[in-house]
Amino acid sequence: MPLELPNLVRWTFTEVWTGVTWEFRINPNEGGSPTFEKQMNIMTNTGPYRGGILQEGRMNVPVVDFSGAILDQDQYEALESWFLKRVLIDMTDDVGRTFRGAITAFNPNRQRRAYRQWYHTYTAQFAAWGYMNASGQTIFGSFS
């Protein structure tokens, strides 16, 4: 019988159009915050008062890297199948942030354990076409 913690909020994946949801058995242990990157172009001009000309382009989609442990076959196959889905996914973390997008990388690494033959560590990456913070504000993209 797994230990139930009363205040534990589990990460979830939800298919946007069907509402099918999967709850993580074990939350990721690292990562989970989005990284943002802007496209910047710096050009120089000529003349006595030379200065940089800065052009800001579109922002890249936020990327969420996370990693954790997999204990059993069901958990492994669930993560594998969510990676293979070709639909929009809402990923909600334990602090209430929601990311809408797709899993772009899933890298399991089997670790030998005498009593857990399915034990793996993994890293994963989620490209967020929409990001809503824990306060419910849309920071990037759209949720309509």
Question: DSSP letter string over 20-72?
Answer: -EEE-SS--SEEEEEE--EEEEEEE--STT--EEEEEEEEPPPEEEEEEEE-S
Phi, psi angle pair for 76, to nearest 5°: -60, -50
* Chain mean pLDDT for the chain: 91
Q: Where are the domains of the chain?
A: 12-140
- pLDDT at residue 4, rounded to an integer: 61
**Which tokens belong to 86?**
């070709």
Examine the pLDDT at 48 and tell me if it is beyond 70. yes
Sign, CA torsion 65/72/26/98: positive
Examine the pLDDT at 97 and tell me if it is beyond 70. yes
Asked whether 4 and 27 are in contact (CB, 8 A), the reply is no
pTM: 0.84
pLDDT band at 5 (very low <50, low <70, confident <90, very high): low
Q: Structurally, what CATH architecture does the domain formed by 12-140 represent?
A: Beta Barrel (2.40)
